[in-house]
């Protein structure tokens, strides 16, 4: 806002200087004709009045747009806070599910990832990119390693034999999920603080 006021003030001074020089030139050229002098003063008044009213209108429009933009943004905060809360709970559940040493339901994991991506895409791009990193880690590393560890027992049932490679990927994936869940709590707190500032 201050930049606009400074810019407007500088433009106004520039206009005054140009008009003053123009008046002096008119005064030098037409010293006998007072009607031209009065017309020049009228012209200057019109220009200055137009600049002032235009500047005030511009400032008013800018302030109104800023207010409504911020208002609309803040109105979304309760929704974002709620989505972050749900996202965080789902991440914790996914982390706990991945820590089990048993055959995992890969379809369930992919469904959870899709849910997380959908929710995160409605919050903001930073949270979404964090969820994408989880999706990438699970899809490209954890699931293939998981599938390598599935065997069958003597009755033909699927049995999970975790390899050291799988355990390493499992722990790093869970660490990533837990780390992002902690960051989500910070995002949630930030949105709550901003909302409280706006309300109060």
Q: What confidence tens digit (pLDDT) does each residue in 159-194 have?
A: 888 889 988 999 999 999 999 999 999 988 888 888
Low-confidence ranges of the chain (pLDDT < 70): 1-2, 4-5, 22-40, 71-72, 200
Same-domain check for residues 52 and 99: no
Tell me which of 73, 101, 136 is where a domain ends.
73
Q: For residue 152, give the H/E element and its range.
A: strand 150-152
Same-domain check for residues 192 and 113: yes
Question: Would the pTM of this model clear 0.85, i.e. be above it?
Answer: no
Q: If you search the block for the tokens 């806070």, which residue do you land on?
A: 81
Same-domain check for residues 64 and 13: yes
Share of the chain above pLDDT 90, in %: 34
From CA 171, how far away is CA 177, in angstroms rounded? Answer: 10
Residue 8's domain comprises 2-73
Same-domain check for residues 24 and 36: yes
**Rounded-to-10 torsion of CA 32, 38, 40, 46:** 180
The residues with which 158 forms a beta bridge, in sequence order, are: 152
Same-domain check for residues 30 and 67: yes
Phi and psi based region of residue 30 (left: phi greater than 0; alpha: psi -120 to 50; beta: remaining):
beta
Q: Which pLDDT belongs to residue 103?
A: 76
Same-domain check for residues 66 and 140: no
Q: If you search the block for the tokens 């003597």, which residue do you land on?
A: 154
Tell me which of 17, 39, 73 is where a domain ends.
73
Same-domain check for residues 62 and 126: no
Tell me which of 51, 73, 95 is where a domain ends.
73
Same-domain check for residues 55 and 113: no
Of the candidates 123, 110, 124, the residue with the CA atom closest to the CA atom of residue 79: 123
Q: How many independent structural domains does the chain possess?
A: 2
Same-domain check for residues 57 and 122: no
């Amino acid at each position: 806002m201050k930049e606009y006021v400074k810019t407007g003030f500088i433009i106004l001074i520039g206009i005054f200087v140009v008009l003053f020089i123009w008046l002096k030139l008119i005064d030098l050229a037409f010293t006998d004709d007072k009607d031209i002098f009065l017309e020049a003063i009228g012209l200057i008044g019109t220009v200055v009045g137009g600049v002032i009213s235009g500047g005030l209108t511009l400032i008013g429009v800018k302030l109104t747009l800023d207010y409504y933009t911020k208002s609309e943004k803040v109105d979304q905060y309760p929704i974002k806070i709620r989505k972050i809360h749900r996202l965080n709970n789902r991440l914790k559940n996914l982390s706990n599910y991945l820590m089990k040493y048993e055959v995992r339901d890969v379809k369930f994991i992919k469904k959870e990832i899709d849910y997380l991506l959908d929710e995160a895409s409605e919050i903001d791009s930073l949270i979404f990119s964090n969820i994408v990193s989880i999706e990438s880690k699970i899809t490209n590393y954890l699931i293939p390693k998981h599938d390598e560890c599935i065997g069958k027992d003597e009755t033909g049932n699927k049995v999970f034999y975790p390899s050291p490679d799988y355990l390493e990927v499992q722990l790093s994936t869970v660490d990533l999920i837990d780390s992002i869940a902690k960051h989500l709590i910070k995002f949630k707190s930030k949105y709550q603080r901003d909302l409280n500032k706006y309300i109060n």
